[in-house]
Amino acid sequence: MFAFYYRIIKKTVIILYIILFLLTANSVFAGGMNKDFEANVKKIINKAMQDSTAWEQLAYLCDTFGPRPSGSESLNKALMWMKGEMQKDGLENVKAEEAYVPHWVRGREFCELVKPRKEQLHMIGLGGSIATPPEGITAPLLIVNSFEELKARAKEAKGKIVLFNKPWMGYGDAVQFRFNGAVYAAEAGAVASLIRSCSPIGMQNPHTGVMGYNDTIPKIPNAAISLEDAEMLERMEKRGQNPVVHLYMEAKTLPDVKSYNVMGEIKGSERPGEIIVVGGHTDCWDPGLGAQDDGGGAISAWKAVKLLKDLGIKPKCTIRAVMFVNEENGTKGGKAYAVDHKNDNTKLMFEFDSGVFEPQSIGFSGSDAQMETVKGFEPYLKILDDSISVVKGGWGVDISPLAKQNNIPVMSLGTNDEGKYFWYHHSATDTPDKVNPAVMNKCIAAIAISLYLYSETK
């Protein structure tokens, strides 16, 4: 009988010990701020705000290598430069891991109004589109504002170029026409598809982006035109002027080519086998230089890790900065990373791909207990900016393959773009001058604070 009660008491003590351990493990994030954490957070902020290196390197990346579409020589040259710069920064285990990525080439392209008068339209081909015949396509337009309207007017679409002129109601709404427009238009018998650019403003600045095909439906050329041109063409159609356009595109998809995920890290002081991954993507669409999407995000993630190293702040677990390749049209970098690192003990994955604007939130996706712990980061983040909050909903395209596969918590930095991000997104105006150096430093500080504090959790 004594042995029976002894076992019960022993189990109870063990359970109580485990509960006490779990409670005390993260008690530093409950109640008042920990003085050591507060001191390090202030060091992070002070150092970050005094350093202009990150923006200078972003500008160098964009100016020197130009547009960095997946599969391009310019992208691979940029990646090798990043690798060398990471080594100069003193990061450990710097390497470039292979990933085979899509290689779509734009070629020459144009679109012009033929009737009721002649005028060059502001147009850009969508990523993944096929070419027109060598002579191009000349056809009247059918202009619709929704897939439902196209379906209702399907008999009018045969032999025409369908233009989807849907007013801006947010990126999620607009992008469905970019990605699926050619499929719906071809299904109705159209010979090509055009969309109003995915942007809230025009300024005769067309925006590109990836599109999709359905192998069971004929493939037709697909391009975007500016808001102003789309509106003008619809006004013409409503007057009964029956606009006709000529579309010419040389686009082609070549075999996948070798590219790289570039990475470097700082080793954990207590649990080096536990990994925190932080990154952004290095590729961009070819009309612009990819400063906001996502050169600024990728370099901010990398410099957040360097910042901790330079300050001598030793995180308890290893923090790895990953410059992912091919986010824009395939996520092959994220998928390759998931294969190469499936057996890593990855504790957290953090992505920054929301535009380099004022830090607004740290989004987190994980268990309720983990969320409660991360919510405790808020007072430290508010030292940087009182408007920053911790919210549910971390995300990231590049980190999602491994995060979903291994059920890893996800974190991301949300920014307040005041509606401006999609002014530049996937267009010729995505250049370094659109990134404020001081704001970029604040983003770096917010990332570094979050990584440091998460490393302190059990």
318-339 pLDDT per residue, tens: 999 999 999 999 999 999 999 9
The predicted structure's pLDDT at residue 163: 98
Instruction: Give me the domain span that covers residue 216.
Output: 107-250
Whether 405 is in a domain gets the answer yes
Residues 429 and 288 in one domain: yes
Shortest CA distance to 338 belongs to which of 434, 247, 407? 407
CA dihedral sign, ordered 47, 49, 53, 57? positive
Q: Among the options 85, 109, 274, 327, which is catalytic?
A: 327
d(CA 55, CA 302): 12
pTM: 0.92
Residues 311 and 414 in one domain: yes
Residues 71 and 203 in one domain: no
Whether 4 is in a domain gets the answer no
Whether 16 is in a domain gets the answer no
The predicted structure's pLDDT at residue 16: 39
Residues 60 and 149 in one domain: no
**349 forms bridges with which residues in the sheet?**
277, 410
CA distances from 23 to 31, 79, 453 (A): 13, 43, 17
SS3 content of the chain, % helix, strand, coil (to 5): 40, 25, 35
* Chain centroid offset of residue 215 CA: 27
Whether 1 is in a domain gets the answer no
pLDDT by residue (tens digit) across 136-173?
999 999 999 999 999 999 999 999 999 999 999 999 99
Residues 282 and 426 in one domain: yes
Residue finishing a domain among 219, 250, 281:
250
- The amino acid that residue 369 corresponds to is A
Residue finishing a domain among 211, 232, 250:
250
CA distances from 327 to 21, 90, 140, 187, 280 (A): 40, 27, 35, 28, 9
Q: What is the residue-level pLDDT of the chain in tens, covering all 458 positions?
A: 434 344 444 444 444 333 434 444 455 676 678 999 999 999 999 999 999 899 999 999 999 999 999 999 999 999 999 999 999 999 999 999 999 999 999 999 999 999 999 999 999 999 999 999 999 999 999 999 999 999 999 999 999 999 999 999 999 999 999 999 999 999 999 999 999 999 999 999 999 999 999 999 999 999 999 999 999 999 999 999 999 999 999 999 999 999 999 999 999 999 999 999 999 999 999 999 999 999 999 999 999 999 999 999 999 999 999 999 999 999 999 999 999 999 999 999 999 999 999 999 999 999 999 999 999 999 999 999 999 999 999 999 999 999 999 999 999 999 999 999 999 999 999 999 999 999 999 999 999 999 999 999 97
Q: Is 383 exposed, middle or buried (0-12, 13-18, 19+ CB in 10 A)?
A: middle
Instruction: Check residue 130 and report its DSSP letter.
Output: P
Residues 296 and 388 in one domain: yes
* Chain centroid offset of residue 49 CA: 24
Whether 11 is in a domain gets the answer no
Whether 28 is in a domain gets the answer no
* Chain centroid offset of residue 149 CA: 32
Residues 372 and 229 in one domain: no
For residues 206 and 224, the answer to whether their CB atoms sit within 8 Å is yes
Residue finishing a domain among 250, 268, 288:
250
The predicted structure's pLDDT at residue 183: 98
Helix (H, G, I), strand (E, B) or coil at 353: coil
Residues 152 and 272 in one domain: no
Give the tokens for residue 407. 């059920």
Whether 445 is in a domain gets the answer yes
What residue has token string 């990475």? 263
The predicted structure's pLDDT at residue 18: 39
Residues 206 and 265 in one domain: no
Residues 70 and 141 in one domain: no
Total tally of structural domains belonging to the chain: 2
Residues 354 and 435 in one domain: yes
CATH number at residue 297: 3.40.630.10
The predicted structure's pLDDT at residue 33: 86
For residues 267 and 90, the answer to whether their CB atoms sit within 8 Å is no
Q: At what angle do helices 53-65 and 437-455 cross, to 10 degrees?
A: 110
For residues 256 and 155, the answer to whether their CB atoms sit within 8 Å is no
CATH number at residue 137: 3.50.30.30
Residues 126 and 93 in one domain: no
Whether 280 is in a domain gets the answer yes
Residue 149 annotated to the active site: no
